[in-house]
Amino acid sequence: EPEVTQTPSHQVTQMGQEVILRCVPISNHLYFYWYRQILGQKVEFLVSFYNNEISEKSEIFDDQFSVERPDGSNFTLKIRSTKLEDSAMYFCASNFNRELPYEQYFGPGTRLTVT
């Protein structure tokens, strides 16, 4: 069964540092997403990406965040200057058909801890 992979599984960083979270979506998928879950809270949509452009972003996704598909296989989320409140589990997802959101495949997540 195809799967979305994410690295690293756990990232610890100091406040103010830049972090890059990496995802490898399923190979024939066209739509890519990042979600996050702060401990004890709900999973929240951050951004969707298609055809090398952001399709939609939430209010959480401010100028500190950026996404990129640098090489046709990886999909990355960069946080420019991390804050304590960025500590969360970050999930990547990918899909072939955006009309079928339930076809989004999720990765196992990266736990980001900002100290």
Partner 1 sequence: AQSVTQLGSHVSVSEGALVLLRCNYSSSVPPYLFWYVQYPNQGLQLLLKYTTGATLVKGINGFEAEFKKSETSFHLTKPSAHMSDAAEYFCAVSDRGDDKIIFGKGTRLHILP
- Whether a cis peptide bond, with omega within 30° of 0, leads into 8 is yes
Dist CA 81 CA 86 (whole Å): 10
Choice between 64 and 105, CB closer to partner 1? 105
Dist CA 58 CA 12 (whole Å): 24
Choice between 69 and 98, CB closer to partner 1? 98
CB of 112 to partner 1, least distance (A): 15
Which residues of this protein are in contact with partner 1, per CB under 8 A?
3-4, 9, 31, 33, 35, 40-45, 48, 55-56, 58, 91, 93, 95, 98-99, 101-102, 104-109
What are the beta bridge partners of residue 78? 20, 66
CB of 89 to partner 1, least distance (A): 10
